[in-house]
Structure 1
Amino acid sequence: MSSPMLLLLLLLCFILCFSPSSQIILLPLTHSISNTQFNSTHHLLKSTSTRSIKRFHHQHNNNHHQPQVSLPLSPGSDYTLSFNLGSHPPQLITLYMDTGSDLVWFPCSPFECILCEGKPQTTKPANITKAHSVSCQSPACSASHATLSSSDLCAISRCPLDFIETSDCSSFSCPPFYYAYGDGSFVANLYRHTLSLSSLLLHNFTFGCAHTALAEPTGVAGFGRGLLSLPAQLSTLSPHLGNRFSYCLVSHSFDSDRVRQPSPLILGRYDTTAGEDIEFAYTSMLSNPKHPYYYCVGLAGISVGKKTVPAPEILKRVDEKGNGGMVVDSGTTFTMLPEIFYNAVVAEFDKRVGRVHKRASEIETKTGLAPCYYLNGFSQIPTMTLHFVGNSSGVVLPRKNYFYEFLDGGDEKTRKGKVGCMMLMNGGDETELDGGPGATLGNYQQQGFEVVYDLEKERVGFAKKECALLWDSLNSEKN
């Protein structure tokens, strides 16, 4: 066969084998809401708002001797993904998907969890052998311990000094590492095994294997900007898959019927058309020297109706100590704002809603959310828009993303009445938010948007989408 003909055949094969739809890995995200765990809407909202606050403040209380993995939330507020580990036989692993951390970890057999009664476990403890352990000399081992060099780690693993000096400690395993949460912790070992994502096999995938935990019975698939995150490890095998991912969270508003629909998690780029940059509202990622695994962006302000409340300087940039910016986080439920800014947004919101609807202070106490109102007749709620730095158009939130309406009462004393609460939260005094983000953009506010993390161009994008339809469209293309 002549060279021109061979070249033409190779080109045709490339076009057929690498169409836009075949360049992605499509995975379903499942919402972990559980009707059996919450005896009322108040209980669900209070649990979720409390965990959102704990997670946000844990980002600032972490010290340098405790590498931070972000805090998994309680059921009713997290999205999970599943994959297979190993092949003889494959073990199904189901974890929380979290852009706020950079480690994949899960329980391994034997597994002991202290104070875990009543907490769901998304996956059975995996069976891992020491044959899959990671060397104390590996960069992955240093990454899991954050502050220790490979020589220190090999010494802890009892590698002899002459072996350390000659860099011959490869047979000595990475020592266990400790992670602390806002209300729990675990000790884990580092292992490597084959991971199956759809049709893709990731050999020597590195993960944490926890044998003991305190109040944390489930694991996390970290998607943050770190060496051990799932996208980072994926990019070593296939850069076009690891350098860009997105998800589109099906709008749920704590509706158990709707959350049964899968939310698409898309690894890679499925649309290479020129119109994409017009469709998405992009803002640049900000570098955070203290928390390099966060996806930080700058928030310029929030509009309530036609009035824009300017954000404080702490939200527009990140300083050399790691203070400031807004973290885009799939693992936090409700958006957290510094107190003065939050109060200014609430004042603008209440100015419009409070003149029509009576404030429901007892609902605020029961749910941990504010402001809340009794909604008699047609509710008049102003629009809300997020203005990111460098994005002049702003991201207009659907009403259900920032104002949740539900029926209250129905007991012997009161009849059922409609109430509604604003779903942004007070993150506390900004002067106390030292060494961490100034705000967090929670997954509740991200519903109904495709959120793109473009690591190559270092930007985050938002586009309003029908997420269930996007899943159906991409899934049909893949099949």
Structure 2
Amino acid sequence: MATYSYLFLALLFSSLCNRSMVLSSNMDSHDLARVQPLAPLPAWACSSKESKREGLKIIHRYGPCSPFDGQRATPIQILQQDQSRVTRLQSRLTRASSRVDVQDTTLPARPGTAVETGDYIVTVGFGTPPRDMTLVFDTGSDLTWIQCQPCSGGCYEQQYPIFNPTDSSSYLNLSCNSAVCSQLSLSNGCSSSTCVYSTGYGDGSKSIGFFAHDTLSLTQSDVFPNFLFGCGQQSNGLFGKAAGLLGLGRESVSLISQTATKFGRVFSYCLPSSPSSPGYLTFGTDAIPSTVKFTPLVTDPNNPSFYFLNMIGISVKGQALPIPASTLASPGTIIDSGTVITRLPSSAYAALRLAFQQEMMNYKSVSSPSSVLDTCYELGGSEALSVPPIVLHFEGDVDVNLDYSGIIYEMRAVGCLAFAGNEDNGELTIIGNKQQLKLDVVYDVGGRKVGFGPGGCR
């Protein structure tokens, strides 16, 4: 989940004192194609099929493979959460320079308050000896943090025991006079000469605690001593019973920057094609498929953590939509692992919807079960809809052909166009994770490029 850049300094817990590309669909892109998805597993079944890729296994936190007991959500609930995330992202990006008067800030002691984080989780090891921690991973955040005992300010419920720093022989809090503490944008100050961090989210949810370092184990061979992270003493927000968050943004404190010496600031993922299947998250250049095509990575000085791309057009059934280049160019496009449904400028979405509707006239149009999506059709039993091919075009002659799962969002007996429009053309375009399914997505931060390739998760 993306974090606000402003600081939250008022700490209510007693132990802390205030201070402070192409996806090949095997079909002619100019023809309607009956795209039949693979037969899904039963809702209760978790696939035993393993990805052939090395790296961290990605699991959908609401799927049957999730380790979180009782954490399930309907497609409609997921869309409601998604809209909340998008609202916060848009707010952060349009008010990047906003700051809060810390004297007027209060932290509600409400552990367990719902907060909408990303849908995908990975498990890594913290400490010596390593303790497994299952975290939400998020390309829209930088700081990695986990809940830590004694949780003096209150913590939300998580699935497995909360990390105890005293059990790790390599754990160390950072002092207030350390260079890292003084440079940390999320640093709020000190408690008994110990550096304190505070990171807040748009709905008021927060994580506050000690800024520390310990050993991070991604795999048995990828071990990083002195990894900087937040050891949370107060956290409010139900993060899907995860232990915390893994930050994959671009800033210096992110996992990508801290492991740059070994991995060259390169990582890639394939999101699982269904909640019943695993995906993967890998680091370094060795695992990049030769089929990946790259588009330039853009930096917004006001929002340096986000991954901006230049999307230059959209095609439906081989026909470019009449979208002026300026509509997509400003305020720009980001790719985000935590947003589900792609959001487009209002006029761009209107053009996409019209072209899609014209190709779907043989299907019965129905009302949407969700306010997020507005172009829906009745599903005919087990038969998939025949959908027109949709292609997203990016700078560098990169064309991303969407899979059926990136075009249709299914709810009950209804299939909806898996795009939504912003309120106006002045809001950010966001490429959601639904449109990234079955793709290898590669982030070469050092090379300033993002790539897309077919055949992900195989």
TM-score class, shorter-chain normalisation, is 0.7 to 0.9
Query: Gaps spanning 5+ residues in structure 2: where?
Result: 1-52, 65-69, 101-113
Q: Which residue pairs with 2:435 in the alignment?
A: 445
Cα separation, 1, equivalents of 2:54 and 2:410:
36
Question: Quick check: 1:269 aligned with 2:285?
Answer: yes
Provide Cα deviations, 1:103-149, integer angstroms capped at 9, x if missing partner: 11121112378795xxx735532112596111324443244335x8x
Cα separation, 1, equivalents of 2:412 and 2:115:
25
Deviates more, 1:209-218 or 1:36-45: 36-45
Q: Which residue pairs with 1:370 in the alignment?
A: 374
Bigger relative contact order, structure 1 or 2, given CA contacts below 8 A and separation 6+? 2
Q: Secondary structure at the match of 2:184?
A: helix
Q: Secondary structure at the match of 1:340?
A: helix
The structural deviation recorded for 1:445 is 0.9
Q: Which residue pairs with 2:229 in the alignment?
A: 207
Partner amino acid, structure 2, of 1:95 = L
**How well do the aligned residues superpose, as a CA RMSD in angstroms?**
3.1
Deviates more, 1:35-44 or 1:126-135: 35-44
Q: Secondary structure at the match of 1:232?
A: helix
Cα separation, 1, equivalents of 2:375 and 2:367:
8
Aligned ranges for residues 220-231 of structure 1 at < 5 Å?
Answer: 220-231=245-256
Q: Which residue pairs with 1:32 in the alignment?
A: 61
Between structure 1 and structure 2, the one with the greater Rg is: 1
The structural deviation recorded for 1:189 is 2.1
Q: Which residue pairs with 1:86 in the alignment?
A: 127
The structural deviation recorded for 1:310 is 4.9
1:295 to 285, 289, 307: 307
Q: Which residue pairs with 2:165 in the alignment?
A: 128
Alpha carbons 1:52, 1:334 under 8 Å: kept = no
The structural deviation recorded for 1:311 is 4.6
Q: Secondary structure at the match of 2:349?
A: helix
Q: Which residue pairs with 1:426 in the alignment?
A: 421
Aligned ranges for residues 59-458 of structure 1 at < 5 Å?
Answer: 59-65=93-99, 74=116, 78-87=119-128, 89-111=129-151, 121=158, 124-128=161-165, 132-145=172-185, 156-157=189-190, 172-198=193-219, 199-217=221-239, 218=242, 219-236=244-261, 238=262, 241-252=263-274, 256=275, 258-259=276-277, 262-270=278-286, 276=290, 279-313=291-325, 316-317=328-329, 324-353=331-360, 355-365=361-371, 368-376=372-380, 379-391=385-397, 393-408=398-413, 419-431=414-426, 433=427, 438-458=428-448
Alpha carbons 1:286, 1:325 under 8 Å: kept = no
Cα separation, 1, equivalents of 2:434 and 2:87:
14
Structure 2 vs 1, CA of residues 176 and 213 (structure 1 numbering), >3 Å: closer, same or farther? Answer: same
Structure 2 vs 1, CA of residues 182 and 338 (structure 1 numbering), >3 Å: closer, same or farther? Answer: farther
Partner amino acid, structure 1, of 2:447 = K
Q: Secondary structure at the match of 2:149?
A: strand
Q: Which residue pairs with 1:16 in the alignment?
A: none
Provide Cα deviations, 1:342-381, integer angstroms capped at 9, x if missing partner: 122112212221x22232124244xx32211124577332
The structural deviation recorded for 1:460 is 0.4
The structural deviation recorded for 1:48 is 4.0
TM-score (norm 1): 0.71
Cα separation, 1, equivalents of 2:153 and 2:454:
40
The structural deviation recorded for 1:330 is 1.3
Partner amino acid, structure 1, of 2:354 = A
Alpha carbons 2:76, 2:411 under 8 Å: kept = no
The structural deviation recorded for 1:229 is 0.6
Q: Which residue pairs with 1:414 in the alignment?
A: none
Alpha carbons 2:295, 2:395 under 8 Å: kept = yes
Provide Cα deviations, 1:162-197, integer angstroms capped at 9, x if missing partner: xxxxxxxxx932234342333522223210111112
Structure 2 vs 1, CA of residues 98 and 139 (structure 1 numbering), >3 Å: closer, same or farther? Answer: farther
Partner amino acid, structure 2, of 1:453 = Y
Alpha carbons 2:60, 2:120 under 8 Å: kept = yes
Cα separation, 2, equivalents of 1:145 and 1:372:
44
Cα separation, 2, equivalents of 1:280 and 1:73:
34
Alpha carbons 2:267, 2:444 under 8 Å: kept = yes
Alpha carbons 2:268, 2:441 under 8 Å: kept = yes
Query: Gaps spanning 5+ residues in structure 1: where?
Result: 1-23, 67-71, 159-170, 318-322, 409-418, 470-479
Structure 2 vs 1, CA of residues 315 and 329 (structure 1 numbering), >3 Å: closer, same or farther? Answer: farther
- The alignment covers a number of residue pairs equal to 379
The structural deviation recorded for 1:458 is 0.8
Cα separation, 2, equivalents of 1:362 and 1:25:
40
Q: Which residue pairs with 2:18 in the alignment?
A: none
Q: Secondary structure at the match of 1:136?
A: coil
Cα separation, 2, equivalents of 1:315 and 1:463:
26
Cα separation, 2, equivalents of 1:123 and 1:430:
44
Cα separation, 2, equivalents of 1:195 and 1:378:
44
Cα separation, 2, equivalents of 1:73 and 1:314:
34
% identical aligned pairs? 29
Provide Cα deviations, 1:26-57, integer angstroms capped at 9, x if missing partner: 22111111575557543444444444444444
Partner amino acid, structure 2, of 1:280 = V
